[in-house]
Amino acid sequence: MDPGLRITLWGLAGNVVLAGLKFAVGVFTGSVALVADGVHSLTDLATDLVVLGGLRFARRPADRSHAFGHGKFETLSAGVVAVALGGAAGWIAWEAWRNFRLGGPPVPGPVVAAVAALSIAVKEWMYQATVRTGRRLRSTSLEANAWHHRSDALSSVAVLVGGLVGAFGYTLADPVAAWAVAVLIAGVGLQILWRVLHELTEGALTPAEQDRVVQAITHVPGVENWHKLRTRSAGREAFVDVHVQVNPELSVEESHAIASRVEQAVAQALGGEVSVTVHIEPNRERP
């Protein structure tokens, strides 16, 4: 099974358990903050399903209708996660405002605090596992979903810290902590949305990645010059297009061998899924 699908399925199962646990304990104890945290876990569950769909569509091979593959389905799913993060931030901020007007939520008991602590541990593990997989696969949607896991952990931190501090008489601690978490989540959502828009508008690879591409090209024997380097990405796949100049006296077979070595060098430099197109040109300016 694809590693991205596997880690997302694990996250989905964890979100089902956590959402049910938070709702049950929140209703039983009367903890509004924990019920709100359960709603946040439900948004995690929904985005898991979106990411699963995006990953499955993205893995389809290229066809006549999508000659460059279906990688941007994964990008679109990352955009949905970014919007969901914004919605989660708005929900947390709204619940914090309601609790603030009501003078603070009821002080969570030991059971509520234990559920919040369990959620923090599980969701942070989900974040670490998902973000590692996302970075290894260069998957925008997996990295975005990882941050959704962490946002759920942070909202649980607000429930835990706010409740514990509230036990000492500071009843406004919970809404204040929740507002801080909402701002952080909204900021992460905007960062992910910016990356999605950059990718959807054919934005280039990062400067560091482009530097690695240039280094790979220039170190291939037989390459005398290069120009018209273009890069972009679609989901986890990177696309590189470059014009390479070689000795005009070389045969077609020799020139083709140089192009193949450039393709291999660039693919190794970037890692993951890379599509490289090399245009061979005679170097008319050679001494």
Helices 140-166 and 72-101 pack at an angle, to 10 degrees, of 10
Q: What is the rounded CA–CA span in Å between residue 229 and residue 212?
A: 12
Q: What confidence category does residue 101 fall into, taking pLDDT thresholds of 50, 70 and 90? A: confident
Q: Are residue 184 and residue 220 in the same domain, yes or no?
A: no
Joined tokens for residue 42:
């439900």
Q: Which of 39-43, 118-122, 189-193 has the highest mean pLDDT?
A: 118-122
Q: What is the rounded CA–CA span in Å between residue 182 and residue 151?
A: 9
Q: Are residue 192 and residue 217 in the same domain, yes or no?
A: no
Q: Could you give the C-alpha distances from 61 to 8, 84, 163, 237, in angstroms and in order?
A: 21, 28, 50, 12
Q: 163 is in which domain, residue-wise?
A: 3-200
Q: Are residue 212 and residue 196 in the same domain, yes or no?
A: no
Q: How many CB atoms lie within 10 A of CB 251?
A: 8
* Domains of the chain: total: 2
Q: What confidence category does residue 171 fall into, taking pLDDT thresholds of 50, 70 and 90? A: low
Query: Rounded to two decimals, what is the model's pTM?
Result: 0.65
Tell me what the pLDDT averaged over the chain comes to: 80
Q: Are residue 245 and residue 153 in the same domain, yes or no?
A: no
Q: What confidence category does residue 211 fall into, taking pLDDT thresholds of 50, 70 and 90? A: very high
CATH number reported for the structural domain that contains residue 109 in this entry: 1.20.1510.10
* Last-in-domain residue among 147, 179, 200: 200
Q: Are residue 43 and residue 149 in the same domain, yes or no?
A: yes
Report which of residues 89 and 276 the model is more confident about: 276
CATH number reported for the structural domain that contains residue 240 in this entry: 3.30.70.1350
CA 270 to chain centre: 18
Q: Are residue 178 and residue 219 in the same domain, yes or no?
A: no
Q: Are residue 95 and residue 166 in the same domain, yes or no?
A: yes
Residue 287 lies in a domain: no
Residue 176 in this model has a pLDDT that exceeds 60: yes
* Last-in-domain residue among 200, 217, 239: 200
Q: Are residue 136 and residue 223 in the same domain, yes or no?
A: no
Residue 269 lies in a domain: yes
Q: pLDDT, tens digit, for every residue of 43-89?
A: 777 777 777 676 666 667 766 777 676 667 777 777 887 888 788 78
Q: What is the rounded CA–CA span in Å between residue 155 and residue 179?
A: 10
Q: What is the rounded CA–CA span in Å between residue 186 and residue 155?
A: 12
